[in-house]
Amino acid sequence: MNATFIAFDGTTTQVEVDEGESLMQAAITNDVNGIVGECGGSMMCATCHCYIDDAWLEAAGPRNDGEEDMLESATSEVRPQSRLSCQVKMNAELDGIVVRLPETQI
């Protein structure tokens, strides 16, 4: 399965993502600039903040419990499309997902 990350400067990176793997882990494994993942995916920071492309919002599902609170500490603008990429797990429905990255994570 594939995910496309679009950096704030427009740089596009397409990566392979395994079933059940988080978008954050896929980004870190593939050296995608713009995802830090400081807490390693335990939802204790907001350094994996991303914007799910509008076409994929429904398939990505709603924010998980606690995600709203963590997003309050994000350094970039929080939008309706904002998610913590550590909380979005890849599945067949998300194959081809497009994820936009904020200007900064720290």
For the stretch 11-65, pLDDT in tens is 999 999 999 999 999 999 999 999 999 999 999 999 999 999 999 999 999 999 8
Residue 105 lies in a domain: no
What's the whole-model pTM score? 0.95
Pairing, β 49-52 against β 12-16: unpaired
How high is the pLDDT of residue 59? 97
Closest CA relative to residue 34, chosen from 47, 16, 53: 47
Residue 43 lies in a domain: yes
How high is the pLDDT of residue 106? 82
* Domain at 50, CATH number: 3.10.20.30
- Which whole number is the average pLDDT over 84-95? 98
- Tell me how many domains the chain contains: 1
How high is the pLDDT of residue 65? 86
- Which whole number is the average pLDDT over 82-104? 97
Residue 61 lies in a domain: yes
Residue 49 lies in a domain: yes
Spatial distance between the Cα atoms of 83 and 52, rounded to a whole number of angstroms = 7
How high is the pLDDT of residue 25? 98
Domain that holds residue 70: 2-100
